[in-house]
A and B are shown apart, each in its own frame.
Chain A
Amino acid sequence: MSMTQTALKPSQADAKGGITIGVADIAITNDPNATLVTYALGSCIGVTIYDPIAKIGGMLHFMLPLSKVNPDKAAKRPAMFADTGIPLLFRSAYELGAQKERMIVCAAGGAEILNDDGHFRVGSRNRTMLRKLFWKNNILLSADETGGNISRTLVMPLSDGTVSIRNRGKEKTLWAA
């Protein structure tokens, strides 16, 4: 993966222990009391990474697969794209002490509008790019839930790295130790 972006500084949780990742946003933390959350993923994809030994976790909420759409915007906001956001997420975790072989990686989102008929496929192209980047870099997805046309909220507390998805008020576990 490209290593052009400077690694992120670890984020601190707010008073309630939350770190909210907005659209085209990214965060990394080693705060054991923090809970990372990104709300309402549609065609965007949320990626979580977690090293259970180092207790380092991160989350990315990217919008589109490829930064070539606008390299200038990608330089300013790398979390907008899979090919700039994902390398930044992993690199930042490694700099903080996480190790690749221990990493639990999950993903959610990548939904489509109705009757897209292959014209745009924003969600599925996001899914394809995610898998392509992981395959190229020997990273295995521990769990994922993508596709369909629903909204998904992705949550990961750093205390145990459990990854959950919320939709229409219902929560389900995507990955747990």
Chain B
Amino acid sequence: MGSVETLIDKCVKLSPAPVVIARVASMLSSGEYNSKELEDLIMTDEAISASVLRTANSAAYGVPGRVFDLREGIVRLGSKTLRRIVLEHKSSELFDGAGEAYGLRRQDLWRGSVGGALAAELIAESRKVCEPGVAYVAGLLRDIGKLAVDVALGADAFRDIDPDETPERGFTEQERLRLGVDHAELGAALAKRWNLPDRICAAIHHHHRPPEPGETGADPLIDVVHAADFITLWSGLCIGDDGLQYQLAPHVRESLKIDRASAEHEIVETMTRFRDLEEAISGHSEQGAA
């Protein structure tokens, strides 16, 4: 574990602890929500304030002929939407430029993270097996270990792999061959160092190998994050050099009752929510067919 600790040390130096994300994650995990703290945080961050204003005055939340100022916007949007705006902005800073080891383009890892967050929230809402807000944060942070892989291996680390070579148990095998650990284990170590709640650290650790029911550490939150990872892959939001080389655990498929129809519904819904979010953040509609 010595080398993992050294790697995490290096990573922490390059990516300072995401204090705001950790704080919001703690609020959600403990259920102790501090609305005043969240308001203060919004008021002191220019980008988040702008996003709150845009959202409060958007077609979905606004009132025709009326423009809400920041304080009114905060009241109007409510805690759930505000938490999301904060997390989406802060995660964008965290993941900015990350994912080079996997051949990802700028912001791709952030797109995959937010896609995973939205999918996890959606699955948690429909299956009612865990708190959707906690599932959102765990889905958002599940791949933070890729930040550490970037630090360890540098850009395009997996480009020498033969495209026809399919690892039997998934791409995490390739990571273990090069590093001795995979991005999920690294992510959990990093999350621990950043003082994220234990349950979220466990979800990050096991999101590619969820323990079976009855096994130590089994938690529906892990299952939800694991399933959300596949919805994100099928949504095409973050496909890197690792491709689709991951396995969906049969016990998760069964316990969460994921079939073709539900998966397709969640793929469409995740992509729709992601596009809405992207447009809200950029403040304009992108070019496309709509």
Contacts and interface: CB of A to CB of B under 8 A. Distances in A.
Interface of A: 5, 8, 11, 22-27, 39-44, 61, 63-64, 69-70, 73, 76-80, 85, 88, 111-116, 119-123, 148-151, 167-170
B240 to A, nearest CB: 6
B183 to A, nearest CB: 16
A111 B244 contact: yes
A113 B230 contact: yes
10 contacts: A24-B271, A24-B275, A40-B236, A78-B289, A85-B289, A113-B245, A116-B248, A168-B103, A168-B156, A168-B241
B290 A112 contact: no
A70 B264 CA distance: 9
A70 B233 contact: no
Interface in B213-262: 230, 233-248, 253, 259-261
Given A114-B170, A116-B248, 15 more contacts: A25-B288, A40-B105, A40-B108, A42-B234, A61-B236, A64-B268, A77-B290, A88-B289, A111-B244, A115-B248, A119-B248, A119-B253, A149-B244, A151-B242, A168-B241
Contact of B271 (A27, A63, A115, A121): A63
A25 B243 CA distance: 20
Given A119-B260, A150-B243, A169-B159, A23 B248 contact: no
Interface string B42-53: 000000000000
Given A63-B271, A122-B234, A169-B159, A114 B289 contact: no
A41 B243 CA distance: 9
Give the bracket for the number of chain B residues in contact with chain A.
35 or more
A120 B260 contact: yes
Listed from nearest, the 5 A-B pairs whose CB atoms lie closest are A40-B239, A42-B239, A23-B236, A150-B243, A44-B236
B289 A64 contact: no
B32 to A, nearest CB: 37
Interface string B76-118: 0000000000000000000000000001110010000000000
Interface string B143-179: 0000000000000101111011010001000000000
Residue among B237, B238, B242, B243 with the most chain A CB within 10 A? Answer: B243
B105 A39 contact: yes
Residue among A63, A148, A168 with the most chain B CB within 10 A? Answer: A168
Contacts of B104: 40
Given A27-B287, A78-B289, A69 B265 contact: yes
Given A63-B234, A114-B245, A168-B241, A25 B268 contact: no
Contacts of B245: 113-114, 149
Given A42-B244, A64-B267, A114 B166 contact: yes
B241 A151 contact: yes
Nearest to A113: B244
Contact of A64 (B103, B242, B264): B264
A22 B234 contact: no
B243 A111 contact: yes
B289 A26 contact: yes
Given A61-B236, A113-B247, A149-B166, A79 B289 contact: yes
B272 interface: yes
A76 B234 contact: no
A61 B275 CA distance: 15
